[in-house]
Amino acid sequence: MVLSDNLEKLIQALNRFPGIGRKTAQRLAWFLVSQDKNFALQLSETIKTTVESFTSCKLCNMLSESDPCPICNASDRLNTHLCVVESNSDIQIIENMNEFRGRYFVLGHLLSPIDGYGPEQIHTDMLMKRISGLKPAEVVLALKPSAEGEATIHYLWELLKDKGVTITRLSTGIPFGGDLEYSSINTLANAWKRRYTV
């Protein structure tokens, strides 16, 4: 079957979602165009409204509907611990453990020169400014144990090793190449409890 240009564009857009292959994108696209048009139009309006309402927190780089974000604004969070994560979704995963009451910083990417992600793209200057302002006793590098994650951990360790702060990382109870997003709460909680100095 020859797909129209508009349907092909929709499939390609849906195919950009993580975990969505082309076949799933095609099914979703056909579902959207075959439903009552109000459903798809309301969905597009909800996406537009939500996307436009979010901005990056100037302190921790987390996407939020307020700046500073609710976690940076919270008076009951501990400044003694700063957890560095790759993405915004990682924060929700860690919060679901109910183990961490410190602050966060979102890198946005991991170091990957081949993909164009260097120190500037992971907001190194912003992170150093955040650490300088908070003066945490411990910086937890909660990054996935992949080649990019290891490179990022090593780079950040080099930056922080003489700053008088304890640098820890999650235990490798999370498999090499695994994502925090796909780890069970128990696996993540155990890795969290067994974090160690870099």
For 52-97, how does the pLDDT look when each residue is reduced to its tens digit (9 = 90+)?
999 999 999 999 999 999 999 999 999 999 999 999 999 999 999 9
Lowest pLDDT segment from 115-124, 163-172, 186-195: 186-195
For the chain, what is the radius of gyration of the CA atoms? 20
Q: Is the pLDDT of residue 177 over 80?
A: no
Q: Which residue has the tokens 């910083």?
A: 105
Report DSSP state, residue 80. T
What is the rounded CA–CA span in Å between residue 165 and residue 198?
11
Mean pLDDT of all residues belonging to the chain: 91
Q: How confident is the model at residue 184 (pLDDT cuts 50, 70, 90)?
A: confident
Q: Is the pLDDT of residue 41 over 80?
A: yes
64 shares a domain with 19: no
Q: Is the pLDDT of residue 20 over 90?
A: yes
Q: How confident is the model at residue 127 (pLDDT cuts 50, 70, 90)?
A: very high
75 shares a domain with 147: yes
80 shares a domain with 44: no
CATH number of the domain that 43 lies in?
A: 1.10.8.420
136 shares a domain with 112: yes
- C-alpha distances in Å from residue 32, one per residue of 21, 36, 147, 188: 16, 8, 38, 36
Q: Which of 132, 134, 128 is nearest to 103 (CA)?
A: 134
Q: How many structural domains is the chain composed of?
A: 2
CA 188 to chain centre: 15
Regarding pTM above 0.85, the answer is: no
Between residues 1 and 46, the one the model is more confident about: 46
190 shares a domain with 110: yes
Q: How confident is the model at residue 153 (pLDDT cuts 50, 70, 90)?
A: very high
63 shares a domain with 48: no
Say if residues 92 and 133 touch (Cβ distance below 8 Å).
no
What is the rounded CA–CA span in Å between residue 14 and residue 28?
8
Q: Please report the pLDDT score of residue 174 as a whole number.
A: 64
Mean pLDDT to the nearest integer, 163-183: 78
106 shares a domain with 93: yes
State which residues form the domain around 169.
56-197
What is the rounded CA–CA span in Å between residue 52 and residue 108?
18
Lowest pLDDT segment from 13-27, 104-118, 180-194: 180-194
185 shares a domain with 91: yes
Q: Is the pLDDT of residue 190 over 90?
A: no
What is the rounded CA–CA span in Å between residue 4 and residue 23?
16
Q: Please report the pLDDT score of residue 189 as a whole number.
A: 75
183 shares a domain with 105: yes
Q: How confident is the model at residue 180 (pLDDT cuts 50, 70, 90)?
A: confident
135 shares a domain with 96: yes
171 shares a domain with 73: yes
Q: Provide the token pair at 78.
A: 């501990």
